[in-house]
Structure 1
Amino acid sequence: MANKKEEDFFFGVSFLEKKRIDYIAIDSFDNLWWQSSEIFACIEEIYKRGILKMYREIICYGSSMGGYGALLFSHILRATSVVALSPQYTIDNSKIKYDLRFSNYAKQINFFFDDLPQYCSKTARKLVFFDPHDIDGQHAARMQGIPNVELVKMPFAGHSVTAFMQEVGILSKVIESVIGGTFSKADFRNQIRSTRRNSARYFSCLAEGLYKRNTKYTDLPIRLAIKSFSLSQNAKIARFIALRFAEVGNYEQSKEWFSKAIEIKTDLILSLRSIISLSIKHGRHEDALHFFKIGIKGKECGLISASGLASLEETIGKSIENEQ
């Protein structure tokens, strides 16, 4: 199961086609967490065609909202196994208070088929992959009482455990082992431990996790984040490093890492706004003007106006006069 807005292609299709594995890809064009009549019309069509009767082994497979759907419809789809990657127990905030990531979607949803313990298969082997240090860990904890659920912990993989497994090259092996009935949590744990040092995501999540636990101690999170950046050249990681240096008053290092983020040009406005604000705070008006001009050159919408530039130039002029 996949969300078309998040996937350029149906989730996992290239792998399945390469292995010549028959599949049905169920897609959602809206973030309704499968609370719509269309999914039931789709399943009804599957029944009409007698597709489920053709197979002894049926695996439901999905990530995040898709993982939730794979669990939710595992009984109806006669699944023998489920692979749920970072699934939610529910996003209905009348039932849970610990996760508000999807609250804007939840407000628009009529939850009429949203009870995992009641609706998911009792007999299928259900593998739930998640990061215990992420909010997903709280969802996984709620699933412990469901029969035949196996919780597979992936520390510091973040919400997208799928991307983590792809990054370290084990996702296809995991799916193949589930299909072949040979998946072992112990073997998987060993695979994770032996490959995670090649993962930028791992070091990034570890850095963020350590920082959240102790915001006064930034040296180790910075070093871990720099390791992550060396593996990925990711603008978000560069901004994280820049902000940590800013917090300890190291303007030059902060400026250097914001500049790296700007060079990558991903979420450029966030980086420009941050460094401009920091430059003004430290009285580095020429630096602020430099980054403003980068914003103008790139025509970043909403970042800069002619009056804003004139105001900054005036501020720089006054600052120079005061120094004289």
Structure 2
Amino acid sequence: MKAEGRILFDGDRLRATLFNADAKKLIVTFRQRVAEDGVFSESTPVQRFVKRGYAHLHLQARVNDWYVNDETEAFEARIAEIADPYRRVVATGFSMGGFGALRFSKALGVQHCILISPQFSIAPKVVPKDRRYRDSADDFDPVLGDVASRARRGMRGVVLADPFRPLDIYNAQMILKAFPKLRLCRLGCGGHPATRVLGESGGFSRVQGLLLSGQVDPEDIVAMHRAGRRESPTYWRHLSENAEKRGHAALSAFAAAKHGEMGRETP
């Protein structure tokens, strides 16, 4: 039977849906940046957590505004109320969703997190080198969207990023300054998001499962990434591209041939 969620914040720009509310622990997930925004997605529970006694709070922004708009403060207050009764709170998010986990970390009381290629900000003055999301930055309020002033500095966990994606590392380094107990996990040729290789090898669910134990170790995640990369078309394509940029023609050709032998990449 399909689990039913309760919408506990239903704004024009932001939405919060809670599943398995009577549990004692909580996982919070955030919708990432989507190619075609403008509507809320259907929320579904993370079953492996629900089955292990977690409630699931799914947070969404209707458009790609990085959760920063005229509803942000009311949303923040509401999700703080929702999360308050739970004795353990963990979170995960990709890209814009990772930013959301950082931005609302104090309000939610997040103890552990796994963040995949997250942004520290999209404000031009804060991240002048990162121009990727300037299409969303015109209406972005850098004060309301300031992560550092709202950081739960004791939050533990990992930031996953591809070291060959310099802008993702650029953001990650700023995140680690604001959240000193987070650790950087470098997943070479993983792309953006950095877990694409893990996704193709079925390893992301195991990474996510580390939050269940509270033992989120970068070395464990790197080992999963390495185990899956030989059969990952994404890995071989990125390796070929990166080798070519660095003048390693033989390696680039070898990796391109391996990519050609692989199946379709994960979207």
TM-score bracket for this pair, using the shorter chain length: 0.7 to 0.9
Match of 1:213 in 2: 246
1:4 deviates by: 7.1
Is residue 2:189 matched to residue 1:160?
no
* CA drift at 1:229: 3.1
- TM value normalised by structure 2: 0.77
Q: How many residues align?
A: 231
Measure the CA separation in 2 of the matches of 1:211 and 1:33. Answer: 34
Is the 1:33–1:69 Cα contact (8 Å) retained in structure 2?
A: yes
Q: How far apart, in 2, do the equivalents of 1:12 and 1:87 lie?
A: 22
Residue 30 (structure 1) aligned to one of 63, 79, 91: 63
Structure 2: which amino acid aligns with 1:68? F
Could you tell me which residue of structure 2 aligns to residue 64 of structure 1?
A: 95
Superposed, which structure 2 residues align to 1:272-311 within 5 Å? none
Contact 2:84-2:108 at 8 Å conserved across structures = no
* Residue identity matched to 1:213: R
2:137 to 106, 119, 124: 106
Q: What is the aligned partner in structure 1 of residue 9 from structure 2?
A: none
Aligned: 1:142 with 2:170: no
Distance 2:127 2:82 in 1: 36
CA shift for structure 1 position 115: 2.6
Deviations 1:259-306 (A, max 9, x none): xxxxxxxxxxxxxxxxxxxxxxxxxxxxxxxxxxxxxxxxxxxxxxxx
Which residues in structure 2 correspond to 1:163-182 (within 5 Å)? 163-182=196-215
- In the alignment, the residues of structure 1 paired with residue 174 and residue 93 of structure 2 have an alpha-carbon distance, to the nearest angstrom, of 18
List gaps (5 residues or longer) in structure 2: 1-29
Contact kept? 1:125, 1:149, Cα under 8 Å: yes
Structure 1 residues 208 and 119: alpha-carbon distance in aligned structure 2, compared to 1, 3 A threshold: same
3-state SS, counterpart of residue 220 of structure 1 = helix
1:93 to 124, 144, 150: 124
Higher relative contact order (CA 8 A, sep 6+): 2
* 1: CA distance, partners of 2:55 / 2:207: 18
In 2, the alpha carbon distance for the partners of 1:114 and 1:44 equals 15
Q: Deviations over 1:73-115 (max 9, x none)?
A: 1111111112211001111122223221111211232323233
Please say if residues 91 and 113 of structure 2, whose CA atoms lie closer than 8 Å, have aligned partners that are also in contact: yes
Change (3 A) 1:113 1:20: same
Task: Tell me which residue corresponds to 1:83.
Answer: 114
The offset of 1:148, in angstroms, is 0.8
Give the Cα separation in 1 of the matches to 2:159 and 2:124.
22
DSSP 3-state at the match of 2:55: coil
TM-superposed deviation, 1:174: 1.4
- Larger strand percent: 2
Q: Is the 8 A contact 1:3 1:30 kept in 2?
A: no
Which one has a bigger Cα radius of gyration? 1
AA in 2 matched with 1:137: I
Mapping of 1:1-16 within 5 angstroms? 1-3=30-32, 5=34, 10=43, 13=46, 16=49
Give the SS at the match of 2:106. coil
Deviation of 1:39 (Å):
3.4
Q: Alignment RMSD, CA only? A: 2.5
From 141, 155, 174, the counterpart of 1:124: 155
- What amino acid is aligned across from residue 98 of structure 1 in structure 2? K
1:96–1:3: structure 2 CA closer, same or farther, 3 Å change rule? closer
Gaps of 5+ in 1: 237-324
Query: Which secondary structure state, in structure 1, belongs to the residue aligned with residue 57 of structure 2?
Result: coil
CA contact (8 A) 1:71 1:82 kept: no
Larger helix proportion of the pair: 1
Shift of residue 184 of structure 1?
2.1
Give how far 1:122 is off: 1.0
Corresponding residue SS for 1:37: coil
- Alpha carbons 1:60, 1:71 under 8 Å: kept: no
Q: Could you tell me which amino acid in structure 2 is paired with residue 141 of structure 1?
A: Q
Question: What displacement does 1:138 show?
Answer: 1.3
Question: Which residue of the partner structure matches residue 73 of structure 1?
Answer: 104
Give yes or no for contact 1:71–1:116 (8 Å, CA) kept in 2.
yes
Deviation at 1:223, TM superposition (A): 2.9
Give distance in 1, aligned partners of 2:60 and 2:171.
23
TM-score normalized with structure 1 length: 0.64
The one-letter code sitting in structure 2 at the alignment partner of 1:136 is: D
